[in-house]
Amino acid sequence: MRKKIVAGNWKMNLDLQEGIALAKELNEALTAEKPNCDVVICTPFIHLASVASVLDANLIGLGAENCADKEKGAYTGEVSAKMVKSTGAQYVILGHSERREYYKETPEILKEKVLLALANGLKVIFCIGESLEEREANKQNEVVKAELEGSVFNLSAEDFAKIVIAYEPIWAIGTGKTATAEQAEEIHAYIRGCVAEKYGAEVAENTSILYGGSCKASNAPELFAKPDIDGGLIGGASLKCADFKGIIDAWKK
């Protein structure tokens, strides 16, 4: 059975003290009321070690929002997958559209990052998704397939099992516009079909595919009720404990 997951992506929003406070609050809330799904929070690098020390690792997973495409050495300002892992983190988000667009991360760069993350024992939340222009030209399927082929379909089936896919239509990220549950289900089913074509039906059945893009407590139940939507990658609504918990609780409905 594939995992149901709600993962937060804090992005560049909270300072260290605010991040620790939010992690503690979430840890307390989920200790008091156990979630019905896996919960992960992905934080800026500087938060990782401190946040790891306040989380119950059996209750909440921890991840980074990025890692370097090089193993180690003279790369000023970069943070390697090994360093991420050494903080206690178990996950890393790779391929987020903001990294692809603002930091020019290409499929080849992402392929290297994925390999290094896996080699260092991290699970990868790999983001794919089309722009508004591509959706309007009805190119969403070819875009997501190319993103998978470009950076993760080179993996063995054993390594691919450590990948969580996050479908995030770029036009829905931080815009308040959510894909309808039907739109999301249609492309999630297509993505699962691509995985089945490449790795077989069993691997596809076991792959968690998260939806991301203005997901909140009010729309999560409808999205998560769809058969191919296995949870969410949450940006804005992961920055307040009550908002994030509201989405986690969607798995209880």
- Residues labelled as active-site residues: 96, 168
Read out DSSP for 170-188?
GGGTTTSPPPPHHHHHHHH
Count the helices and strands in the chain (H runs, E runs). Answer: 12, 8
Contacts for 155 with CB less than 8 Å, ≥ 6 apart: 114, 118, 163
Tell me which residue of 184, 195, 191 sits closest to 226, measured CA to CA. 184
- Could you say which residues in the range 112-171 bind ligand PEP, by CB under 6 A? 168
Binding test (CB under 6 A) with ligand PEP, winner from 213, 224, 228, 245: 213
Stretch of 16-24, 58-66, 112-120, 234-242 contacting ligand PEP, by CB under 6 A: 234-242
Binding test (CB under 6 A) with ligand PEP, winner from 173, 179, 184, 191: 173
Computed on alpha carbons and rounded to an integer, the radius of gyration of the chain in Å comes to 17
Binding test (CB under 6 A) with ligand PEP, winner from 163, 165, 191, 234: 234
Nearer to ligand PEP, 7 or 115 (CB): 7
Q: How far is the CB of 71 from ligand PEP (least distance, A)?
A: 27
Tell me which residue of 30, 21, 19 sits closest to 65, measured CA to CA. 19
In SS3 terms, 80-107 reads as: CHHHHHHCCCCEEEECCHHHHHHCCCCH
Stretch of 54-62, 73-81, 133-141, 212-220 contacting ligand PEP, by CB under 6 A: 212-220
Nearer to ligand PEP, 65 or 134 (CB): 65
Binding test (CB under 6 A) with ligand PEP, winner from 40, 117, 118, 215: 215
Stretch of 80-88, 144-152, 207-215, 217-225 contacting ligand PEP, by CB under 6 A: 207-215
Q: Please tell me the count of residues contacting ligand PEP according to CB under 6 A.
A: 13
